[in-house]
Structure 1
Amino acid sequence: MLTPDHPEKIAVSDTSNASENKPNVSLLWPPGLDDFTCKEIGQWGEHSAIDLGIGKIVNVLNLQSRHVSQMQNILSALCYNPSVIFYRQNVLDDFLNCPGLAEEMEKLLDLLRQFERALFRIQKASSNFQEIAGELSKMEMYTECIQKLKSVFTQAGPALHSEGLLLLRDIVTKIEAGEIFQVLVQELPELRAKMQGLISSITIGVNLDHDYRPVEATLLSINTRSFQGDENSFFGRLLNLQKKKSEYQGIGQLHSVPFQIMHGIELPDRQNPMMFPLFKDLDLVLQKVTGPIAAALAQYVQVNTSFLEKLGPEIVFYLGAVRLIQRLRAAGLPVCRPEIAPAEKRMCELEDFYNLELALNLLDPDPYKEQDLSQEIVLNDVAFGSQGRIFILTGPNRGGKTTYTQGIGVAQILCQAGLYVPARKARISPVDGIFTHFPLEEKPDLNVGRLGEEAQRLNAIFQRITRHSLVLFNETLSATSPGESLYLARDLMQVLRKLGVRTVYATHLHELAKTDVINDLPGDSLAISLVAGAVLGNGTSDEVKRTYKIIPSPATGFSYAKDIARRHGISSEQLIDVLQQRRCLLDADSSPSSVTQR
């Protein structure tokens, strides 16, 4: 039995407990690496996360709203170390393929949350007594988490293959079998019983002044029973003098210290009462009373629980990924583990690829509702490589150019986070940065004008990109005339080709898509013309049917603006009809037919 008088009983120095004392394991980072020591962390453009809709992906991955910042950090790290990506992919495969693992890990999250709450209480403790109570709760939840993990890994058996989970299993097994842990499991219930038997209430004596106002108070006793309030009214109790009551039964209502409220959320701890001198006196008394328990807990100071603190967000990350994969597959959409190609290849091959954000927008909020999106989402291919690394993408308005461009960036982020990508098959080289140049909301107070603002953002991108980056342009240089825009865009293409960077340039500048002009320039990255497909209506119909298929093809030379005008009621025929109905046009030559003939 552990006693405060014999602390030497657990003062063991057995080297077999080394992993117990300082366990170091992560499901995101291989041994020896973390987000501080890993040098292969990519760069982001100023607006890239917003342009690519990363916030929506974070919300999908985050099963518990309290881990938003951790999910953002994992995605935004943009790690391009292949060993880290492999490490995460293998862990995710175990979560997907090991029977029952995801379900049991989700149960573990409840214990980890209680562990985190105990840590929070220790950090916010305003007295020794509260800190000791928090430490006791922390060690209780630590043992429960270790025992649950041991059970999870025993159930998984030989089905685990990833280095990360196998390393965690070995550490948990050593901890659970260690002498310190075994003593801890035996002694914690006794410590809890002692803690609960110490104090449940206190008796306070209050002095009143001549006007019966409370002016002084002192502690009278510490009790092991809790007081109860009177369910009847105060005057009812006074009038019923013959009714016998317990010494712990009050004659008035039982008042409670309110919980703390932060950002509209009720926290698990109550408001701090230690601001009052009376309760400071109580703290001093409790320090003496809880001394033996504090001494007993101090013997476990060598137990390092820090690896559990980061385990929760990591498990949430993988469970969120598993649910996302399962929902997409259930909706008839392909997802796959991407093959990681060498960075020097500067390639990205995606077969039957789609934009994840588009799929998320179409998925029903109810995760249990059956859906089939296979007929709603058009699948496309991507082929960055020696055959071409500069895509000049043209086509009709609302024909899928932005969706395609954005989707490539999202797939790259998912790949480098160690997740599956929205495609049937994928082979991707990591990038050292993702930079976007999408239209921004116009700001009236800009001194440089829209073109100047675009130029400043372009300059910032070229200050940072390398041949291993990914750059996504969407309607860049649209703030000036077509002639000037074409001139400037060709200059950009010249530099991008010379650098060899992977690029998508979605534009209405069909002249830019004459790739022979660009490919005659020096450089090792060829330009390819891609077109967002559309089919004109039969006969005299001007209606355009968008196919949303992105195919290698010379630019068609028009963007189907007339179709857009008709959809929004601003074609010449529609506007003439409106004016005639309003009787604003009186002359016969103002008919739609005559206007179109002029």
Structure 2
Amino acid sequence: AHPPSDSSVVEFRREIASELASSPELRAEFEQLYTLLCRFRGALEGAAGSKRFDSNRRQLELLGQTKKIIGRMACGFGAARSGLARLHAFAMRVQAAEPYQSMAQLLQYDEHLATLNLRVRVGADGHIHGFEIAALKENVQNAFVTSPWRRWLSKVELLLRGFRFGEGEVMARLIDAVFDGILPDVALFVQLLGDMEFYLGTLGFRDVAKAAGLDVCLPEFVSADEPRVLQGLFNPLLAAHGTHPVPCDFRTDAHSTTVLITGPNSGGKTRLLQSIGLAQVLAHAGVFVPAKQARIAMCSRLVVSLIQETTADQSEGRLGMELIRIRALFERLPPGAMVILDELCSGTNPSEGEEIFELVITVLARLTPQAFITTHFLNFTARLERERKLGDLRFFQVQLDHHQQATYQFVDGVAQTSLAQRAAERLGVTGDQLMSLVERNVAIASRPAE
């Protein structure tokens, strides 16, 4: 992801997202404009309309849709207070220019060349018995309409000069001239379509969260030495896969700290890291974050290092790959960055892993990062908490209920156990369970063949 680094761009996006979320009428106008743009794109790709093989008619349909889009911008966003007001300003500028006026005149010429009044005689049997033309009046107010004598003289003049063409060719030249004038403005529709999808995406995320009983917000930006507050934080990836996430509250007394998180397997540690990282990215993007309330500091970069599956073509073993990712981390890590590391140094024995672990967090402190690291080195982490040699360390553990089950909440401190035995029982990997499987397989193998 490459969110904007300019705070003014972030604030610009936040204002738009906030106004769309707070005004149902404005959001409806926004969605209708998006629908018109999608239809325009479909027509432009030749996928709309039964007359798409008539070149003139297809181009006139495109011009007609262009006029509707400009009209929707002009009428629907005049009261906007955020950057949406730019749509109204853009439309008003386009409508005041000569190319748009020519387009409007050409469309009117195509739809309303003349008015014909008829008198129709209807008999007692209900059938039409005759009619007569009462009046025929050309739309002389249109710039493209000329008198019959003028049109006849123009044709004679062109014939004497050796030009041969049909009515369709004349219309094609008119359409091309209008298209050339309006094309610079129409080209901006492509970028606008992508921008609108960005905001509709964040509104859709807000709608999905609300339907699931979850809250989202636009975070408050604070400095790095102020507390981090993530209230009602949830993992949107779980919601996307149909699992209802359990919100949690997460707070640190400052942003520029290294947070060590311990707890049992399947206790929510990795999901917490994902939630924090996604909240940071979405905050930088200027959109809603997955939390009821959030106070977040901007960071210079977000670096995430998660455990990767072993592949046949990797050049090193698990420990080697672990060391490679640590090296890559420090090669691109600037001061003040956010660092997310899942199960650091889990690929080696505890004594050596703890030594590398301590080296990493010691060097990290020099960069004053916003760091979040999960680990199963419980004794080592408890020693760090007791000794307090590194002042910028904070410690959180998975909260357990009275049944020793994870609540997916996080509290201060270091976990006492990873509950590996309980996980083994849950997954059927105790001594008795494994032995019963062995005895079953032996019994099956010893049966005489039929």
Normalising by the smaller structure, the TM-score range is 0.7 to 0.9
1:31-80 CA-partner distances (Å, limit 9, x unpaired)? xxxxxxxxxxxxxxxxxxxxxxxxxxxxxxxxxxxxxxxxxxxxx22223
Structure 1 residue aligned with 2:70: 146
- Give how far 1:99 is off: 2.9
Q: Does 1:161 align with 2:81?
A: yes
Q: How far apart, CA to CA, are the structure 1 residues paired with 2:175 and 2:420?
A: 79
Which of 510, 516, 539 aligns to 2:378? It is: 510
Query: Does structure 1 residue 354 correspond to structure 2 residue 278?
Result: no
What residue identity is the alignment partner of 1:108?
L
Matches within 5 A, 1:91-106: 91-106=16-31
Is 2:248 aligned against 1:389?
A: no
| Residue 406 (structure 2) aligned to one of 536, 542, 546 | 546
Query: Is the aligned partner of 1:185 residue 2:185?
Result: no
Residue number among 160, 173, 197 corresponding to 1:294 in the alignment = 173
Q: Which SS does the other structure have where 1:322 is aligned? A: helix
CA distance in structure 1 between the partners assigned to 2:92 and 2:325 by the alignment? 53
**2:343 equivalent to 1:475:** yes
Residue 499 of structure 1 aligns to a residue in which SS? Answer: coil
Aligned-partner Cα distance in 2 for 1:423–1:98 = 21
AA partner of residue 161 (structure 1): R
| Structure 2: gaps spanning 5 or more residues | 48-53, 114-163, 444-450
CA contact (8 A) 2:231 2:250 kept: yes
The residue type equivalent to 1:185 in the other structure is: A
Question: Partner amino acid for 2:375?
Answer: T
**Distance (Å, rounded) in 1 between the aligned partners of 2:388 and 2:170:** 80
1:322 counterpart (194, 197, 203): 203
Instruction: Tell me how far 1:419 sits from its aligned partner.
Output: 0.9
Whether contact under 8 Å (2:385, 2:395) holds in the other structure is: no
- CA drift of 1:292 comes to 4.8
1:108 Cα deviation (Å)?
Answer: 2.0
Pairwise CA distance, 1:150:
2.3
The one-letter amino acid paired with 1:349 is V
Residues 19-98 of structure 1 mapped to structure 2, 5 A cutoff: 76-98=1-23
Task: Report the counterpart of residue 91 of structure 2 in structure 1.
Answer: 172
- Where 1:175 maps in the other structure, the secondary structure is helix
What is the letter of the counterpart of residue 460 of structure 1?
A: A
Partner of 2:429: 570
Alignment partner, residue 530 of structure 1: 396
Q: Which amino acid aligns with 2:430?
A: S
2: distance between equivalents of 1:535 and 1:488? Answer: 33
Deviations 1:381-420 (A, max 9, x none): 132616x611111100101100101110010111111111
Amino acid at match of 2:396: L
Amino acid paired to 1:95: L
Residues in 2 aligned to 1:564 and 1:188: alpha-carbon distance in whole angstroms: 72
Name the CA distance, whole Å, in 1 between partners of 2:380 and 2:6: 35
Deviations 1:418-477 (A, max 9, x none): 111111211112222221111111113323212111211221121111122111111222
Cα deviation for residue 306 of structure 1 reads 2.4
What corresponds to 1:245 in structure 2? none
Deviation of the 1:295 alpha carbon: 4.3
After superposing the two structures, state which structure 1 stretch, 393-402 or 570-579, moved more. Answer: 570-579
Aligned length: 385
For residues 253 and 306 of structure 2, the distance between their equivalents in structure 1, rounded to whole angstroms, comes to 21
Using the size of structure 2 for normalisation, the TM-score is 0.77
In the alignment, the residues of structure 2 paired with residue 393 and residue 421 of structure 1 have an alpha-carbon distance, to the nearest angstrom, of 22
Are the aligned partners of 1:515 and 1:528 in contact in 2 as well (CA < 8 Å)?
A: no
Structure 2 SS opposite 1:301: helix
| Residue 555 (str. 1) matches residue 434 (str. 2) | no
Contact 2:336 2:367 in 1 (8 A): no
- Partners of 2:181 and 2:373 lie apart in 1 by 57
Report the residue type matching 2:73 in the other structure: L
Quick check: 1:352–1:425 contact (8 Å CA) kept in 2?
yes
Q: Tell me, in whole angstroms, the C-alpha distance in 2 between the residues paired with 1:429 and 1:347.
A: 9
Residues 1:314 and 1:115: Cα distance change in structure 2 (over 3 Å) = same
Counterpart position of 1:380: 249
Task: Check the 8 A contact 1:468/1:502 in 2, yes or no.
Answer: yes
- Does residue 421 of structure 1 match 2:289? yes
> Following TM superposition, by how much is the alpha carbon of 1:121 offset from its aligned partner in structure 2, in angstroms?
5.2
* Shift in CA distance, 96/555, structure 1 to aligned 2, threshold 3 Å: same
Q: Counterpart of 1:168 in structure 2: which amino acid?
A: L
Letter in 2 for 1:309: V
Q: 1:217: which partner in 2?
A: none
Cα gap change, 1:356/1:512 in structure 2, threshold over 3 Å: closer, same or farther? farther
Q: Does 2:400 match 1:520?
A: no
Contact 1:394 1:532 survives alignment (8 Å): yes
Aligned amino acid, residue 467 of structure 1 = P
Give the secondary structure class of the aligned counterpart of 2:241: helix
Deviation at 1:553, TM superposition (A): 1.0
Do structure 1's residue 445 and structure 2's residue 370 form an aligned pair?
no
Is the contact made by 2:99 and 2:181 (CA closer than 8 Å) also made in structure 1?
no
Mean Cα deviation higher: 394-403 or 138-147: 138-147
Give yes or no for contact 1:354–1:379 (8 Å, CA) kept in 2. Answer: yes
The aligned runs of 1:325-336 (5 Å cut-off) are: 325-336=206-217
Q: Distance in 2 between matches of 1:435 and 1:287?
A: 65
Q: Deviation string for 1:98-125 (max 9, x for gaps)?
A: 2322223222223212322354459xxx
Aligned mates of 1:516, 1:559 — CA distance in 2: 17
Within-5 A mapping of 1:198-209: none
Which residue identity lines up with residue 66 of structure 2 in the other structure? Y
Q: Distance in 2 between matches of 1:577 and 1:349?
A: 50
Paired residues for 1:462-501 under 5 Å = 462-501=330-369
* SS of the residue 1:480 aligns to: coil
Measured against aligned partners, the alpha-carbon deviations of 1:164-206 in whole angstroms (never above 9, x if no partner) come to 1112212212323445423421212435899xxxxxxxxxxxx
8 Å contact from structure 1 (residues 380, 550) kept in 2: yes
Letter in 2 for 1:529: F
For 2:405 and 2:24, locate their aligned partners in 1 and report how far apart those are by CA, in whole Å.
Answer: 46
Give the deviation of 1:145 after TM superposition. 0.4
The alignment's C-alpha RMSD in Å is 3.0
Name 2:143's counterpart in structure 1: none
Shift of the 120–330 alpha-carbon distance from structure 1 to 2, 3 Å rule, reads closer
Q: Which runs of 5+ in 1 are unaligned?
A: 1-75, 123-128, 195-284, 364-372, 538-543, 585-598
* 2:261 and 2:414 in contact (8 A); partners too: no
Distance in 2, matches of 1:133 and 1:389, equals 65
Aligned 8 A contact 1:119 1:138 in 2: yes
Helix, strand or coil at the partner of 2:405: strand
Cα distance between partner residues in 2 of 1:445 and 1:311: 43
Normalised by the length of structure 1, the TM-score is 0.59
Mark the CA change 1:118 to 1:583 in structure 2 (over 3 Å): closer, same or farther.
closer
The letter of the residue matching 2:280 is Q
Distance 1:169 1:293, change over 3 A: same
1: CA distance, partners of 2:42 / 2:71: 19
Which residue number in structure 1 is paired with residue 193 of structure 2?
Answer: 312
